[in-house]
């Protein structure tokens, strides 16, 4: 286990280094800089600003400086938001994204699993068809549309909920629902298909013939096996959802981290671009790591001691 974990960590570290380096140079290749304006800044002032942010140094020097700061845990100051450190921007905006994101993960897991199981148990019956329709709709309706419809119906027309903001606990409902549609539908389909496969497997038939009750078969044998692909999906899904959705955050006016992914590039806010990329990388890797560990619990056949991961 320790060997496995340390090996994982080493590879994560290497991946992060590659990610940081690649992003650094790619970002510098994009034309423009943080101090380009429609109202051009006089040359002298520009030169001075470049010097202030170390942008006047040769590229390799900037790169080494950046890596050095990174090793000291310093992501630098934003070049656009004055006096705001990248760490602070990430911290303050991630709180919102993580909150609605985690709720959305829970909702989509619950809804997806329930729908999937119902569909599988009612294979080819009307309940199955209904859930399939719901799932197909969920997958095919883009989240900006879902968000807009929810906002229009419950916010503007019925006025049950605020159209935007996160001032009240109930304000979470609409953005969480909007974020959950797609993953819930995806999980439902995944669960349904693997459940169907599992339910027709020999060992289920064996269990049934042994006279085990339906519920025990469902929970202990069928679901446990059927959930494996879902577990694989949960990791990246969680990473994706909690790092914010540009669209959903924009529509519901939530000050989350999502919009910075686009904004930082538009602003050529170099330090923020780097910070966000690394942050996203870390979250994603952490999620995968947790997924790998979770495998071990769900499926005892997968052993981590041999350092392989997937058995």
Binding site for other proteins (CB under 8 A): 30-33, 35-45, 48-49, 52, 80-84, 89, 92-93, 96, 110-111, 114-115, 117-118, 121-122, 127, 148, 151-152, 154-156, 159-170, 173, 214-215, 218, 250-256, 259, 263, 266, 268
Cβ atoms of 272 and 280 closer than 8 Å: no
User: In terms of CB distance, is 3 or 48 closer to other proteins?
Assistant: 48
User: In terms of CB distance, is 15 or 148 closer to other proteins?
Assistant: 148
Instruction: Count Cα atoms within 13 angstroms, Cβ side, for 102.
Output: 5
Min dist. Cβ of residue 206 to other proteins (A): 18
Min dist. Cβ of residue 240 to other proteins (A): 20
CA dist 174 and 144 (Å) reads: 12
CA dist 119 and 117 (Å) reads: 5
Min dist. Cβ of residue 9 to other proteins (A): 32
User: In terms of CB distance, is 2 or 29 closer to other proteins?
Assistant: 29
User: CA nearest 178: which of 138, 233, 234?
Assistant: 138
User: What is each CA distance from 173 to 82, 93, 147, 177, 179, in whole angstroms?
Assistant: 33, 19, 11, 6, 10
> Would you state the structure tokens that stand for residue 205, as one six-digit string?
């038939």
User: In terms of CB distance, is 117 or 146 closer to other proteins?
Assistant: 117
Cα-to-chain-centroid distance, residue 113: 19
> Would you state the structure tokens that stand for residue 63, as one six-digit string?
């790169």
Min dist. Cβ of residue 232 to other proteins (A): 24
Min dist. Cβ of residue 35 to other proteins (A): 7
User: In terms of CB distance, is 8 or 259 closer to other proteins?
Assistant: 259
């Amino acid at each position: 286990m320790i060997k496995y974990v340390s090996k994982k960590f080493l590879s994560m570290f290497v991946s992060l280094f590659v990610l940081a380096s690649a992003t650094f140079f790619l970002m510098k290749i994009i034309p423009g800089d943080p101090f380009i304006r429609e109202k051009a800044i006089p040359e002298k002032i520009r030169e001075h600003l470049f010097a202030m942010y170390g942008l006047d140094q040769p590229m390799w020097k900037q790169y080494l400086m950046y890596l050095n700061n990174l090793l000291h845990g310093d992501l630098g100051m934003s070049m656009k938001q004055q006096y705001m450190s990248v760490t602070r921007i990430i911290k303050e905006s991630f709180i919102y994204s993580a909150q609605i994101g985690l709720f959305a993960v829970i909702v989509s897991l619950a809804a997806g699993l329930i729908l999937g199981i119902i569909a599988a148990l009612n294979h080819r019956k009307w309940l199955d068809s209904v859930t399939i329709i719901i799932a197909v709709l969920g997958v095919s309706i883009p989240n900006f549309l879902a968000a807009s419809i929810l906002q229009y119906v419950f916010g503007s027309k019925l006025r049950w909920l605020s159209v935007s903001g996160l001032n009240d606990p109930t304000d979470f409902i609409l953005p969480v629902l909007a974020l959950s549609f797609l993953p819930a539908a995806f999980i439902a389909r995944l669960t349904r298909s693997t459940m169907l496969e599992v339910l027709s497997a020999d060992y289920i038939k064996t269990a049934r013939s042994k006279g085990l009750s339906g519920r025990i078969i469902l929970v202990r044998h069928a679901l446990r096996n059927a959930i494996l692909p879902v577990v694989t999906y949960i990791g990246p899904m969680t990473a994706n959802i909690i790092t914010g959705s540009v669209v959903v955050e924009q529509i519901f006016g939530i000050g989350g981290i999502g919009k910075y992914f686009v904004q930082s590039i538009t602003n050529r806010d170099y330090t923020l671009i780097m910070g966000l990329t690394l942050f996203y990388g870390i979250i994603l890797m952490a999620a995968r790591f947790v997924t790998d560990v979770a495998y071990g619990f769900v499926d005892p056949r997968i052993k981590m001691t041999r350092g392989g991961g997937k058995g």
